[in-house]
Amino acid sequence: MGVLERVTGERQAQGIEDSEGKPFVRPTAWDDAALALKLGTEMQTRDEGGTPWNYTFCPQADYYMKSHLFGDIYASDQFTPAERELITVAALSAMNGVEPQFEGHKECAVFMGNTKEQVEDLCRWLADNIK
């Protein structure tokens, strides 16, 4: 966030106007843990192509992933589920040691509404342009 703040400040000082996108609206699920879990379970199931997972061996992590990573984060309307997965694919492509997650999220990006070609184009562009 600090780097983003610095870069946007520098751009503003140069007279560059950046669109801030939609105004932020606090999602209802942020104030309702049961709703966040319900929405998160639905989004996680969709993200996995309709196959839900339940990490019953570690219920606290299972709850956290469903209620926060899928419930709270997907509750915001700033990005569509398809856009969120492309962002996740792009972020993972810049990290080492996360190949299983990278491959998994490429599949999830398709489950969330992107075409396989869009995902492949993004990965190709990232590989060619980001070092």
DSSP letter for each residue of 11-57: HHHTT------SPP---GGGG-HHHHHHHHHHHHHHHTTT-----TT
Q: Is the pLDDT of residue 84 over 70?
A: yes
pLDDT of residue 131: 66
Mean pLDDT of the chain: 92
* DSSP-based three-state secondary structure for 82: helix
Q: How far apart are CA 71 and CA 17, in angstroms?
A: 33
**pLDDT tens digits along 20-33:** 888 889 999 999 99
Q: Which tokens is 46 given? A: 């969709």
Percent of the chain residues topping a pLDDT of 90: 75
pLDDT of residue 130: 80
